[in-house]
Amino acid sequence: MIRTHIMICGGTGCTSSGSKKIQEKFIESLKANGLEDEVQLVQTGCFGLCALGPVVIVYPDGTFYSRVSVEDVDEIVEQHILKGHIVERLVYSDTGKVAPINPKYVKLNETAFYRAQNRVALRNCGVIDPENINEYIARDGYQALAKALNTMTPDEVIQCVKDSGLRGRGGGGFPTGVKWALCAPNKARQKYVVCNADEGDPGAFMDRSVLEGDPHSIIEAMAIAGYAIGATKGYVYVRAEYPIAVNRLQIAIDQARELGLLGKNIFNSKFDFDMEIRLGAGAFVCGEETALMTSIEGNRGEPRPRPPYPAVKGLFNSPTVENNVETFANIPQIILNGAQWFASMGTEKSKGTKVFALGGNITHTGLVEVPMGTTLREIIEDIGGGIPNGKRFKAAQTGGPSGGCIPAALIDTEIDYDNLTAIGCMMGSGGLIVMDEDTCMVDIAKFFLEFTVDESCGKCTPCRVGTKRLLEILNKITDGNGTMEDLDRMEELCNYIKANSQCGLGQTAPNPVLATLKFFKDEYIAHIQNKKCPAGVCKNLLTFTIDKDKCIGCGMCARNCPAGTIYQTDYVAPGHKLSSYYIDPAKCIKCSACMDNCKFKAISKQ
């Protein structure tokens, strides 16, 4: 009889930190102690607290062990499983504002990270074994599909999704029910349902985590969509860089077929639906729905002119509905619990919850799901644990290369589609990069623009050429050669690219530049007029200097300088025996090796 469950995170983050070896060690240790029939090991999806991995949770008490190593396993088994003594040195220490219920150890759902969340799309991640269909079924899995097929008409399914207020979580925010309704009336021998799991934004891993932790929810949702619009075939387009997600999704598809949940006459309803995976090569432009469909067809991923829209002429020139992973992950719960249940969460125009990949200069990097309308301050301070090392919050980048930045002055902004649009940002797919005072916003704009220049498919001139010219101006500014006229030229070029690019990649590529110009223009001016980077990031504008009174003359800086630009002087500081050193600014290559090797903090950059 099973008396204890040990949940081991099997998401990409923890897997890369060695959770598979930890699982193998648990199997060995449990067997050595004769516990293999009393303790069940479960490899789950992502728990969300990615920076604390590998994560191990012991139930029924819910003890939350973080940063577990192979060497810790025997101690957990011998002390906790056998004797009931919690291994306190491995227990997660909550740094949230609200004190834990039991200060000796914190359960996962009692952490500040979890308490403010409302997990709908992530409801099963970290809870079930994603490779076991029975565990999904035990959590009401496939009941929504049964309800739709046996008690609802296709039109009623569409109306339910409409009434829920669910908007596309891929970035555009188009109403999901409306998209389905536009496709449903179109007659064709074959219609398609497509799941966009391409997820190319830097720092974004929301969709990957759902596929790794709850793949059956996507299968169920796509079957429901197929029933609603009259489609019998589905494709999941996922990048090949997600091997764990691909493997678990294929296992889930095979299991669903075996139980008759995919294929012919599902639930004796005379409804047929099957699906398969298509691997992408990692092109960012394939996140755009028409480029994605072009890639599935076996062609180079390039966007198509719209209209006609995919609802009329999509995959293989047939009517198609395309939604991303997070959008689909909400569908089964909406059908099962009703439209009003979902609509009761969020704001007036942005219903439900939103998953964010929280990264950057934040204490708790990871995956969070909060109701729409949650403020940025709540996400950063209450859930994310604030900015580490006593630094000040400067800005948050939402929407990745397609988005904009929210400055510290707007930290109390309620996060939803319309509020972000109003301040010149966008939701995007859910990447949320937090930046502290040491971040150069000009450099951030350049970073994202470099990404879009590399990822442009090159089909249209405004995107292919315009983004390169824009990047050239940014490089000119960060090199210290910019002029004030460049700011006007840059803004004009941004607006031209947005207005004339064919697809969403080009239309949104200038957003990081426009947002930083709007909120941090003073930093651009400092780069141009003062030839200084206020954050000390832009290499060509830095000057490294040695404080002659702090320098003890040890010579570590000179010995580690690859360019040989550091010389000893005749000056001996009071209290020191050796003469200090000097950096020749004309020859300095600004590699910071001198500062990194100075133990006495005598070297500074400005």
d(CA 358, CA 368): 7
d(CA 330, CA 246): 20
pLDDT of residue 102: 54
The three-state secondary structure class of 492 is helix
| Residues of the chain scoring pLDDT < 50 | 96-101, 103
Distances (CA, A) of 162 to 123, 168, 222, 342, 491: 22, 12, 16, 11, 38
Tell me the pLDDT tens digit for each residue of 321-344: 999 999 999 999 999 999 999 999
d(CA 109, CA 470): 46
* pTM passes above 0.85: yes
CB 471 within 8 A of CB 450: yes
Residues in a beta bridge with 274: 233
Encoded tokens for 323:
């939604």
CB 228 within 8 A of CB 180: yes
Residues in a beta bridge with 275: 234
pLDDT of residue 521: 94
d(CA 549, CA 298): 67
pLDDT of residue 168: 92
d(CA 194, CA 305): 19
Encoded tokens for 39:
């303790």
- One-character DSSP codes across 304-372: --SSSPTTTS-GGGS-EEEEEHHHHHHHHHHHHH-HHHHHTSB-SSSBSEEEEEEEES-SS-EEEEEET
Nearest to 123 by CA among 149, 107, 110, 141: 141
pLDDT of residue 97: 45
Distances (CA, A) of 425 to 171, 437, 515: 11, 20, 7
Encoded tokens for 221:
């949702």
Count Cα neighbours of 228 within 13 Å in the Cβ-side half-sphere. Answer: 33
Strand 566-568 vs strand 581-583: parallel, antiparallel, or unpaired? Answer: antiparallel
340: region left, alpha or beta (phi > 0 left; psi from -120 to 50 alpha): alpha
pLDDT of residue 467: 92
Distances (CA, A) of 606 to 280, 438, 439, 449: 44, 12, 14, 25
587: region left, alpha or beta (phi > 0 left; psi from -120 to 50 alpha): alpha
Neighbour order of strands in the sheet with 56-59:
39-44, 4-9, 56-59, 63-65
